Amino acid sequence: MLLRAIRADLAIIKERDPACRGTLEILLCYPGFHALVLHRLSHRLWHLRLPLPARLLSQLSRGLTGVEIHPGARIGEGVFIDHGMGVVIGETSVIGNNCLLYQGVTLGGTGKQHGKRHPTLLDNVVVGAGAKVLGAITVGSNTRIGAGSVLLRDVGPDSTVVGIPGRVIHQSGVRIDPLAHSALPDAEARVIRNLMERIDSLENDLARTQACLREVAAGRPLAEPCRGESQSLKDREILEFLGPPLETADFRPESDGHDA
């Protein structure tokens, strides 16, 4: 299984990295690949109930590659850690097959509780540079998390997450190119535009109502009803963007040691 996983890691790098020029270059020059190979060895030691050798090997890997992966983390096949520097993966993290992580990614915990406290990424998840995925949450398959985002809630499949805190824009049924980071939607700009249009509509309704009141005060019949048009669709989009309030009592940013 170890050799199969290593072959799958090699294959996904060749598929997704346009700078790759061959297997030998990957074996010698890709720190993300080196970190995964060393992690798979330390993970085996961890399951053999040899925690100290496993941690020592993971620390050696951290010094050599700049990637810190706790030996307890479970990582599937065909995973690509691109560039890798500054990536931190906590003890109870689970990463599915064919996931892509860029530099500076953190899969971390939010407190000192025991048990499952780190994220689960299902298959084909892409996590952009500098993104933070925190807590015992689940990220659905084929989901893309934009660079610099901070995700604190569960995410369904086939979604795009952007912002701080991370907000979801569903793209169900649309195949997402894992390398197309420039195609991330600007959710904030869209909602601000909707809000401005809503304010303009409300101002028009207010002006129409004032004109109606003047007509009524003057004793003249109204030419048309004094009401505006519904804006329910845009209101719903704005509310979806804002989302439910965060449960601040459940978010404790204390570190739980070396496993983020």
* Tens of pLDDT, residues 3-30: 888 888 888 888 888 888 888 988 888 8
As given in the structure block, the two tokens for residue 247 are 């449960």
* Tens of pLDDT, residues 96-148: 999 999 999 999 987 777 788 899 999 999 999 999 999 999 999 988 898 88
Coil, strand or helix: which one is 50?
coil
* Tens of pLDDT, residues 209-259: 887 777 777 776 666 655 555 555 556 656 665 565 544 444 444 444 445
Beta pairing class for 167-170 and 159-162: antiparallel
pLDDT of residue 257: 47
Residue 155 clears pLDDT 70, i.e. is over it: yes
pLDDT of residue 256: 47
Residue 75 clears pLDDT 80, i.e. is over it: yes
Spell 6-42 as b/e; 16+ CB within 10 A means b.
bebbbebbeebbeeeeeeeebeeebbbbbbbbbbbbb
Per-residue pLDDT averaged across 56-69, rounded? 92
Indicate whether this model's pTM tops 0.75.
Answer: no
* Tens of pLDDT, residues 158-191: 888 888 777 776 555 455 555 555 555 556 666 6
pLDDT of residue 251: 42
Q: How far is CA 116 from the centre of its chain?
A: 18
